[in-house]
Amino acid sequence: MSYCVNCGVKLDQALVKCPLCDVIVVNPALVDPKIILKATSADNNTFPKESGTVEEVKRRDLGLLISIILGGASISALLLNLFVFRGYWWSLLIIGICLILFFLALPAFILTKTPIYIRLLFNAATAGLYLYFISLITPASEWFTGLALPLVFLFTVVIMILVWLIRFFKTHLLTTALFVITAISVLCVGIEMLINRYTGNDFALLWSAIVMTVCAVIDAGLITVLSRRRLRDDIRKRLHF
């Protein structure tokens, strides 16, 4: 029993062509090869001329759909907050989350050729805006300018420098790990210093010193591996990278 390769209709063993679409039956076990060659030479219609394909979804259309969904959620939350649940401005939290998701999706679906540094600035601005919305519904808002914004700035600068180092030096896994661990230690030190500044404490390193020590030990091991070519090549072979 055989079926047409084009339309899928069930074929009789004696058929040379499909009775619906005229595609030639090419199974030699069912039809004499001489008949197939003769039919093929007379009418070269062995396979369909056009292949059916599903049209790909355009990124801009997907971005438009995401924008409509996030915008609808934000407007709905705002209207509910204005006319139904009026206790406090809880809708700002939902609007802030929608803005974060929108700016995360914006470079991926709409601004596809945007440099990664612009994307990082978008993300930082969105995070700062979301924190500002939170400050509007909290009793005290000094933490926003005293701690939140400096932390966002610190994270943005460190991550941008990390991305630049990885892209500029075209690093492999070991060098990337070295840069990431160093960035973690810098972030921890900066976070503790900013917290001490905000709380009015002395600029003494406590928990960040532990993190920095551990990162320094790991960095020392990575630098040793990177400086020894034979050891570096052996680790690459064993880890398959």
At 114 the pLDDT is 72
At 28 the pLDDT is 54
Question: What pTM, to 2 d.p., does this model score?
Answer: 0.61
At 184 the pLDDT is 92
- Please provide residue 17's backbone torsions phi and psi, each rounded to the nearest 5 degrees: -125, 155
Distance CA 168, CA 5 (A): 52
Contact criterion met (CB below 8 Å) for 180 and 222: no
Which of the residues in the chain have pLDDT under 50? 30-31, 42
At 93 the pLDDT is 81
Distance CA 187, CA 120 (A): 16
At 215 the pLDDT is 92
Handedness of CA 86, 87, 91, 92 (dihedral sign): positive
At 150 the pLDDT is 92
Contact criterion met (CB below 8 Å) for 25 and 17: yes
Identity of the residue numbered 42 = A
At 181 the pLDDT is 92
At 68 the pLDDT is 87
| 2 phi-psi bin (left φ>0, alpha ψ -120 to 50, beta other) | beta
Q: Which long-range contacts (CB under 8 A, 24 or more apart) does 43-50 make?
A: 45/17, 47/5, 47/6, 47/23, 48/5, 48/6, 48/21, 48/23
Distance CA 157, CA 163 (A): 10
Q: How far is residue 61 CA from its own chain's centroid?
A: 18
